[in-house]
Amino acid sequence: MATPQPQQPQTVNEPLTAPETKPAPPKTGSQCKLTARDINFFYGQFQALYGISLDIPANKVTAFIGPSGCGKSTFLRTMNRMNETLRNTRVEGDLKLDGQDLLGMDVTDVRRRVGMVFQKSNPFPKTIFDNVAYGLRVNGIKKSSVVAEAVERSLSHAALWTEVKDKLHKPASALSGGQQQRLCIARALAVEPEVLLLDEPCSALDPIATLKIEELLFQIKDITTIVIVTHNMQQAARLADFTGFFLLGKLIEIDDTKKIFQNPGKKETEDYVTGRFG
Amino acid sequence: MAATSYIAETLGRRTNRGFFARLRGGDEISYLVTLASTVSILLIVGLIVFELWANSRPTFKAFGFGFLTSSAWDPNADKYGALPFIYGTCVTSFVGMLIAVPLGLAASIFLAEMAPPKLSNFLTFLIELLAAVPSVIYGLIGIFILVPAIRTYLVPPLKAAFGYLPIFEGTFYGLSFLSAGIVLSVMVVPFIISVSREVLMAVPVEQREAALALGATKWETTWDIVLPNASTGIFGSIFLALARALGETMAVTMVIGNAPRISASLLSPGYSIAAVIANEFAEANGDLYISSLIFMALVLFGLTIVINAVARIFIMTTQGKGI
Amino acid sequence: MMMEISATRRIVNGFMLTLSGVCTVLVVSVLFFILGYLLLHGASSLNWDFFTKLPKPSGETGGGMANAIVGSGKVLLMATVIGVPIGFMAGVYLAEYSGKTFAFAIRYVVDLLNGVPSIVIGIVAYALVVRPMRHFSALAGGTALGIMMIPIAVRTTEEFLRAVPTNIREGAMALGATKATTIFTVVIPAAISGLTSGMMLNLARVAGETAPLLFTALGNQFWSSGWLAPIATLPVMIYNYATAPEDDLHQQAWAAGFVLLTLVLIINVTARLIIASGPAAQRR
């Protein structure tokens, strides 16, 4: 368990090439759920992440922002080792979940404990109930009363229960885009993940659906830790307690959201959040 | 809340998965079983080659390669020669392809280039159904409908106009190389159409548009631009059809006449490799008899494999993306 | 000055269009021709006896092909059991586990296997099953047809599994499912309609095969019990009756041909319609 770090002074004009190793300062009293130290990531010969180090505090929302292709999604996928499903990838560095070595653990356990919601909703071609129940069943929980209760609970957390409680056994494909994404959130929540990773979950949705999802993310902070990648800075400003800015595979800065947007320490961060480049 | 701690407990307990837990997860087993199935297919192919070769050896030992050039076929005297059958196979396939290729190409051009998409898809659907008709049904139609029709409507004018040619010599009784060739052409045309159509449709739209924009007619575009582009693939489709024609058994057996003779005339009865095996294998006694039939099967096998192998390479190079 | 396209070119264009259209119509009409004749000659000979009675010698009335219909069913069942699991599992391997070059090589070999004439496969089944057992059997027939079912099972499985989006696979793995669990509980169910229709097409294709059965399953005038005895099948009966001299047997051949073709075409059309309306087609 990492101890709370004091805030370190930040120089404004540090050169872009020097890798950052400063961890994020967590709020007093909350612990660090997930810590990363010097994470390098390679697609074959190509290096996509350079020395990422940060702390994800428990029961808070941390957002990753940055222009396209800056590595924020890549890093997100490192946290639940989804990149291992691709060929020829390599991770270096240290990644700890509650102090345990995440890279050395059994990968299916990692993925159960660190859940993910994808950019494009991907409900299985099954019923709504079976979608939410899938994670439980696959992880060995089959008792129908337990499953049914878990399904209801997760759908409630995902603000979907009232809309689907009468059609749990209809196919998930019948739901609207926004509902499907909430279904995917419920599905991820059902296995009680300690961290929930969301990769631009609202990018394919209309503003109303987006609002519904942002609201529910606020609510579920209590039951899990949230890390969200977003290209929408306003969303980060609305949702996140902490925000990290990625650029060209490096973590430029990570801090309290207010500070990042109102008084960023690095020039690159300031340029980005003020819209000088997108 | 009792359920929550149950879930958390159950899931938490699974953190350190031992060997048996991972085994139950199934990854290793699944990989091994599917890999084993794949490998066993290779083994089956090897087995096919082996069985054919091993069972041909008696004949090979007795006659050597001369078996393939001899036309002595006398089971009672235990003398065997494959030439009449090789001849019949080649002749019927040649006649079949001669009819099917122009017909099939013309139809595939119509379907790929000229017809509106809905019509094209519908007609292609029907033509693919033709490919699904079993061989024995073609044989049925062949014996009772086609052969009498050929005898009544095709042969008289043919003999009247070309009777002096050696290929149209002699009396026509019905079962013959010609009949077999015609039945084969009907069976093989759907394949030519199906593959050629796909190959033609794979030619990029930009090529056609370039020609049309210069004022070429639809036909000119097709003939000068699209066909040359697709030519390798079309050759591939022709080879595929040829391989099919060579191995075609039932329809040919039913209309070829089953006479192990070599004759220049298409109107005379004949025999093919597949037909003689179909007719005589079940009752064949004696090692040499059986192994002669199997040797011919080996020849047929080798021939179709080679033609198919070449055909697929042709088709792959056209489509670029591999089969 | 070429203000208008020359008359010759226009005529040639129109002529070629018509000619190719005529060729197409010619080819398609063969299908209707076959169907029509079978309907005419065959349907009229169909009666309840055909489906329920055993064959009777020529001259006697009231015979049928009940044993051949059941026999075909048994041999096809055997073929499915032998050929489909191997082909299916290999297809799973190619779609989910294999590297590119190995997959290419296997696909190529499988396509070559598909091109082997059915009578050659029959000989191999003879050598593998009939000779050691010293008699003909449904097992031998099933082996021959089973081997023929493998290539299409492999290609169909691979094609339809590949069509399932990666998105869905990732969704399952992100919940902690192993790769195997993902494949069998998510990917395969997602592809199920394509897989079933592929199976149907495969079955329809071997259902009409005659040549390999001529010296593996052989034939039987009576009911065949178990799997190790010679057995009558519909295509072989058609062949035997059509090539016999007696006319009433010819009638039976037409009837059987009608039944066989109807079955094969119904399965084909159903399967193709399922594929055409399925998720894989919609994504194209």
Picking from B1, B13, B14 by the largest number of A CB atoms within 10 A of its own CB, the best residue to mutate is B14
C7 falls within a domain? no
Picking from C26, C119, C277 by the largest number of B CB atoms within 10 A of its own CB, the best residue to mutate is C119
Phi, psi dihedrals of residue A116, rounded to the nearest 5°: -140, 140
C3 falls within a domain? no
Within a 10 A sphere around the Cβ of A130, how many other Cβ atoms? 21
* ipTM value: 0.89
Q: pLDDT tens digits, residue range A54-82?
A: 999 999 999 999 998 889 999 999 999 99
For helices B287-319 and C118-125, the axis angle rounded to 10 degrees is 130
Distance CA(B68)–CA(B63), nearest Å, equals 9
Looking at the fold, whether B219 and B70 belong to one and the same domain comes out as yes
Whichever domain contains C79, its CATH number is 1.10.3720.10
Looking at the fold, whether B21 and B128 belong to one and the same domain comes out as no
C166 falls within a domain? yes
The Cα of C211 is separated from the nearest Cα of chain A by a number of Å equal to 42
Whichever domain contains B98, its CATH number is 1.10.3720.10
Distance CA(A263)–CA(A7), nearest Å, equals 15
Predicted local distance difference test score (pLDDT) of residue B100: 95
Predicted local distance difference test score (pLDDT) of residue C4: 62
Which one-letter DSSP state was computed for residue A126? S
C235 falls within a domain? yes
Looking at the fold, whether B67 and B13 belong to one and the same domain comes out as no
Looking at the fold, whether B244 and B133 belong to one and the same domain comes out as yes
Q: pLDDT tens digits, residue range C157-206?
A: 999 999 999 999 999 999 988 899 999 999 999 999 999 999 999 999 99
Could you tell me if C67 and C54 are in contact, meaning their C-beta atoms sit under 8 angstroms apart? yes
Looking at the fold, whether B203 and B162 belong to one and the same domain comes out as yes
Q: Which among B146, B323, B315, B138 has a CA at the least distance from the CA of B243? A: B315
Domain total in chain C: 1
Q: pLDDT tens digits, residue range C68-122?
A: 999 999 999 999 999 999 999 999 999 999 888 999 999 999 999 999 999 999 9
Contact at CB, B323 and C107, closer than 8 angstroms: yes
Q: pLDDT tens digits, residue range B24-81?
A: 557 888 999 999 999 999 999 999 999 999 999 999 888 888 888 888 888 888 888 8
Predicted local distance difference test score (pLDDT) of residue B25: 59
Residues of B in contact with C111 (CB under 8 A): 308, 312, 323
Looking at the fold, whether B31 and B68 belong to one and the same domain comes out as no
C98 falls within a domain? yes
Predicted local distance difference test score (pLDDT) of residue B17: 54
Looking at the fold, whether B196 and B116 belong to one and the same domain comes out as yes
Write out the residue range of the structural domain in which residue B210 sits.
Answer: 63-319
The answer for B 171-230 residues in CB contact with C (under 8 A) is 186, 189-190, 193, 215, 217-220, 222-223
C41 falls within a domain? no
DSSP letters, B179-205, are HHHHHHHHHHHHHHHHHHHHHHHTS-H
Looking at the fold, whether B117 and B160 belong to one and the same domain comes out as yes
Q: Could you tell me the two tokens for A10?
A: 């930040």
Could you tell me if C203 and C267 are in contact, meaning their C-beta atoms sit under 8 angstroms apart? yes
Looking at the fold, whether B118 and B28 belong to one and the same domain comes out as no
C221 falls within a domain? yes
C35 falls within a domain? no
Domain total in chain B: 2
Write out the residue range of the structural domain in which residue C133 sits.
Answer: 65-283
Looking at the fold, whether B37 and B140 belong to one and the same domain comes out as no
DSSP letters, B80-120, are ---HHHHHHHHHHHHHHHHHHHHHHHHHHHIIIIIS-HHHH
Looking at the fold, whether B208 and B314 belong to one and the same domain comes out as yes
Pairing of strands A225-229, A32-43: unpaired
